[in-house]
Amino acid sequence: MLDSPLVLIVVASLFTYSLLSSRIEKYSVTAPMIFLLLGVITGPLVLNWAAPGINASALMTFAELTLALILFTDASQVNRQHLLKFENIPIRLLAIGLPLTIVMGAFIAIGMFDFGWIDALVLAIILAPTDAALAQAIFNKTSIKEKLRHSITVESGLNDGLALPLLLIALAIISSGSINALDTSYWAHFISMQVFAGGITGIAIGYAGGYLIQKASDTHSMDPIFQRLASFALAIFTYCAAEHIGGNGFIAVFLAGLFLKTKHTVLIQRLKEFSETEGQLFTLLMFFLFGLIYIPDAVSLFTWSSLGYALLSLTVIRMVPVFFVLIGTSLSLREKLFLGWFGPRGIASILYLLLTIETLGFSENVPHYDLLFSTSVLTIGISVFLHGLSVPFWLKTLQRADKPKFK
C-alpha cells in the first residue's frame, strides 16, 4: 500500500505545498483548489499516474469522518453566547432559507432538465448544504464581522445534518417507486429522531466530555499532548453514538462542539490546532480523491445545461432565498449579498452524491444519472475555485463598507 504511486504523490504534494503555502495563498489560491487540481492532473484525464482503486463505500466513510471532524472543531471555535446577539440570522438561514433553496433548486431543475419532481428534489438536496471546510477560509478572517463569520459557520455546520433526512426520504420514494408506498408514520418518527436525538446526544456529550477534559486538565492527570487526541475521540464518539440511537451524527457533532463545556482557552486552542492540521489533512485528501476519481468520470457527461444549472445553483438558487430571509435585519446590502454568495459546496455535497449512488446503485438504477452526476460534480468543482478566489474581494468590500465616512 505504501509503495503505491498514489501515496507518493499525495505526501510529496503535501510537503511541497507546506513549504510554499504562505506564498501561494498571497495569490488567492487555496489548498483545496491545489489538491483538487492535482487529483485531476495525476488521474486518468491527464497523466494517468494513479489508477483509482477506492470504492464508493470507503470514500463515503472517509467523507463522513472528515465532515464530522470539521463540524466539531469549527463549532468549538464559535462563541455560543455571542450567537444570541446575531438577530437569529443562522435560524433564518436554516429554518427558512434552506427549504426555500431546495424548492427553488428543484423547480429550476424541472424546467431545465425535464426531471420528474422527485429526481429534481434529489439534485436540489445534494447541492443545498454549504461546506464547513471551505467556509474556514472566512471564519479565520477576523477582519470580517463576527456575526457574519459565525452565522456562516453555524449555517454550514447544521444544514449538512438537516438536509440529510430529506435526501433519505427522496431516495426511499425512488426506491419504492411511489410516494404512496412510503410509511409516513415511520418517516415522521425517523425525522424527529434524526433531529432531536441527534441534538440531545450532541449537547449532552459536549457538556460531559468538555467537563471531563477540563477536570482532567485541572488535576494534571491528562498530558497536554493527549488533549487533541481526546478531542478527536470525543468527536467520533459523538457521531457514532448519535447514529447508533437513530440520531443524526452531523447535527450531534456540531452541537457537541458548540456546547463543549470548558473554560480552558488552551483546550479551545488545541482544537483549533487540530482543525488546522489533522482536519486540513483530511479535507485536502478528500478533494484530491474527488478530483482523481469523480471528475474524470463526469467530464464526458458534462453538458451546457449542467454548466448552466451549476452556475444558477451557486448564485440565484442560493442568493435569492438568503436575501429574502434576511429582510428586516440590520445587515447592509453588501453583508446580505456576502451571506448569499458565500455558500460553498464541498464535502457534504460529495457525501450526499456518494450516498445517492450507494443507495440506488449506478447509472442503470438512478433516474437521469448522467445529468444528476455531472451537474453535482461540476457545481462542487466550480464552487471550490469561485468561492476560494472570491475571498479577497469580499474582504476588501466588507472592510471598505465598515470604514467611517468623514465629510
Task: Check which CATH number belongs to the domain holding 304 and give it.
Answer: 1.20.1530.20
The answer to the question of residue 288 being in a domain is yes
Q: How far is CA 241 from the centre of its chain?
A: 21
98 or 79, which is more confident: 98
pLDDT (mean) for 291-317: 93
Q: Using the predicted structure, report yes or no on whether residue 224 has a pLDDT greater than 60.
A: yes
Distance CA 246, CA 196 (A): 10
Quick check: 404 pLDDT over 60? no
pLDDT value at residue 357: 84
- pLDDT, residue 193, reads 92
Predicted pLDDT at 188: 87
| pLDDT at site 2 | 59
Nearest to 271 by CA among 317, 220, 228, 222: 228
Lowest mean pLDDT among 88-92, 169-173, 220-224, 355-359: 220-224
Q: What is the pLDDT of residue 197?
A: 94
Looking at this protein, which amino acid is placed at residue 165?
A: P
- Number of structural domains found in the chain: 1
- Tell me which of 53-62, 127-136, 209-218, 303-312 is least confident: 53-62
Which range among 21-35, 148-162, 169-183, 248-262 shows the weakest confidence by mean pLDDT? 169-183
298 is a domain residue:
yes
Range among 65-79, 207-221, 245-259 with highest mean pLDDT value: 245-259
- Tell me what pLDDT residue 326 has: 93
For residues 90 and 84, what is the distance between their CA atoms, to the nearest angstrom?
A: 10
Query: Residue 406 — very low, low, confident or very high, per pLDDT cuts 50/70/90?
Result: very low
User: Is 46 a member of any domain?
Assistant: no
Distance (Å, whole) CA 105 – CA 313 = 7
In a domain, 48, yes or no: no
- Residue 364 in this model has a pLDDT that exceeds 60: no
Helices (H) and strands (E) in the chain, counts: 21, 0
Cβ neighbours around 303 below 10 Å, total: 14
Asked whether residue 4 carries a pLDDT value surpassing 80, the answer given is no
> What are the distances in angstroms from CA 182 to CA 129, 170, 194, 285, 341?
25, 10, 18, 38, 36
* pLDDT digit string, tens, across residues 309-323: 999 999 999 999 999
Whether 8 maps to a domain, the answer reads no
Model pLDDT, residue 26: 78
Q: Which of 16-25, 82-91, 261-270, 345-354 has the lowest mean pLDDT?
A: 261-270
The C-alpha cell 489538491 sits at 35
**For residue 252, is it within any domain?**
yes
**pLDDT mean over 264-289:** 77
What does the pLDDT read at residue 262? 62
**Structural contact between residues 56 and 359, judged by C-beta atoms closer than 8 angstroms:** no
Domain range enclosing 338: 55-402
Rounded to the nearest integer, the mean pLDDT of the chain is 85
String of DSSP letters for 87-120: TTHHHHIIIIIHHHHHHHHHHHHHHHH---HHHH
Query: For 277, how many CA atoms within 13 A lie in the half-sphere containing its CB?
Result: 9
Answer positive or negative: Cα dihedral of 25, 29, 32, 38.
negative
pLDDT of residue 330 exceeding 90: no
User: What pLDDT, on a 0 to 100 scale, did the predictor assign at position 407?
Assistant: 42
Contact 254, 202 (CB under 8 A): yes
**The pLDDT value given to residue 151:** 87
Position 12 in a domain: no
CA-based torsion, 137, 287, 345, 24: positive or negative: positive
Q: What is the DSSP string of 348-376?
A: HHHHHHHHHHHHH-STTTSTTHHHHHHHH
Q: Is residue 157 part of a domain?
A: yes
Average pLDDT over residues 53-79: 82
